[in-house]
Amino acid sequence: MENFSEWYSEILERAEIYDVRYPIKGCGVYLPYGFKIRRYTFDILRRLLEERGHEEVLFPLLIPEDLLAKEGEHIKGFEDEVFWVTHGGKKPLEVKLALRPTSETSIYYMMKLWIKVHKDLPIKLFQVVNTFRYETKHTRPLIRLREIMTFKEAHTAHATMEDAENQVKEAIEIYKEFFHELGIPVIVSRRPEWDKFPGAEYTVAFDTIFPDGRAIQIGTVHNLGQNFSKTFDLEFETLEGGKDYVYQTCYGISDRAIASIIAIHGDEKGLILPPNVAPIQVVIVPLLFKGKREIVENKATELYNLLKETGIRVKIDDRDIRPGRKFNDWELRGVPVRIEVGPKDVENKMVTIYRRDTGEKYQIKEEEVKDEILNLLERIKDNLRERAKERMEKYITLVDYTEDAPIEEVGNRVKEILKEKKGIALIPYSESIYNEDFEEKIEASILGTTEYNGEKYIAVGRTY
């Protein structure tokens, strides 16, 4: 992929995922095909959250100014990014209303009304909503939005710090599973103090690397400790009959999950979708020849019904255009499997199968179709994951240096690596370089500290 940015924009448009022409910067439109990918993707996340006791809720979009401003660090972190509603019709509002940049403050205001005693805990809620951030960095479709259209935010409250710690671990597990399902390789790191979520004790982030070698944060888990519960007065009666403030966590994933599926798996021909999020998993293309139309059409319908009954998302492309064009269309849209049925195949009781991820084409016996497709969809999912992991590993470079090497030298080495190889450089952990000065020196971001083969490293790279 020569120019990732160009490729990405072109794919969004040509595969009919997302239309960027909406007349507000950082806002766009999910088209039907993109919307379906989004739905299957977030259904996976919903399932994973619900399996672990999270319940879905829905809070208002508007937050009164005084509520948003209550937690000092939080508002400081977001004040330059908030969109304000100042008028109702022509009348100025007495209290300005913020379009939520995230929902800690509105959710914790309500939690105050719901939490009285330890029995009320834990609370594990989530919602999937749009949030608004007046981003000043270059906006990019599904990557840096001003209206984040798919903001999955989970918020939890616990009786002890230990419970909150365990919740952070559970959230990390859920997100690992989620990205595993999508075949997106991740680096999990603890963000530096100066880059943690405003109002958090600490932040654990998920990053992946895009084909252009830049890192992108695709999810975060925050331990909020008692920072919000103290300002929002979330006090409860403990088991021992005393009083304490709840311990909280929150974690979020956005449209960037969709952007990652597109970016990580796609190729020159277009999208390649993991079967579990593909709106169409199998497309059947009948190869119609004069005089043999009917037998081919009948066979295609028979196969369609068989696969449909099996629960596979299948489509027959019976448009009156050349098969080559149909092939291109579905390859562009990333449909994992194509079945071709021609008159010869029908006679021989065979079908031709094409897999989008490897470009392989092979024939199987008609009676094997169901088993083969079910199995193949799994193989494609695994292959995409493996391939993506290998590609990402090529983008990870371990930086060799001895404890006593001058910082200048380490900095130059890192700069060189990021220039030549791009991606992420892992530097054996040392306190002396874990600071903003070093970050400035290498002209890249310190993502945070991460474990790699059992050792502690500082991960650095250029980011989105």
Chain residues that interact with ligand P5A, rule: CB under 6 A: 102, 104, 133, 135, 144-145, 148, 153, 197, 217-220, 222, 250-252, 254-256
Q: Least distance to ligand P5A from the beta carbon of 77, Å?
A: 9
Cβ proximity to ligand P5A, 250 vs 282, nearer residue: 250
Q: Least distance to ligand P5A from the beta carbon of 457, Å?
A: 21
Q: Are 183 and 268 in contact (CB under 8 A)?
A: no
Cβ proximity to ligand P5A, 191 vs 299, nearer residue: 191
Cβ proximity to ligand P5A, 248 vs 276, nearer residue: 248
Cβ proximity to ligand P5A, 130 vs 352, nearer residue: 130
Q: Least distance to ligand P5A from the beta carbon of 92, Å?
A: 28
Q: Are 307 and 314 in contact (CB under 8 A)?
A: yes
**In the complex, which residue's CB is closest to ligand P5A?**
252
Cβ proximity to ligand P5A, 12 vs 250, nearer residue: 250
Cβ proximity to ligand P5A, 185 vs 411, nearer residue: 185
Q: Least distance to ligand P5A from the beta carbon of 209, Å?
A: 14
Q: Least distance to ligand P5A from the beta carbon of 206, Å?
A: 7
Sheet of 424-428: strands edge to edge?
A: 55-56, 123-132, 147-158, 247-253, 215-225, 202-209, 187-190, 445-452, 455-461, 424-428, 396-398
Q: Least distance to ligand P5A from the beta carbon of 267, Å?
A: 24
Q: Are 77 and 199 in contact (CB under 8 A)?
A: yes
Cβ proximity to ligand P5A, 62 vs 332, nearer residue: 62
Cβ proximity to ligand P5A, 120 vs 147, nearer residue: 147
Q: Least distance to ligand P5A from the beta carbon of 218, Å?
A: 5
Cβ proximity to ligand P5A, 13 vs 195, nearer residue: 195
Q: Least distance to ligand P5A from the beta carbon of 414, Å?
A: 24
Q: Tokens in use for 122?
A: 């834990």
Cβ proximity to ligand P5A, 18 vs 330, nearer residue: 18
Q: Least distance to ligand P5A from the beta carbon of 458, Å?
A: 20
Q: Least distance to ligand P5A from the beta carbon of 176, Å?
A: 15
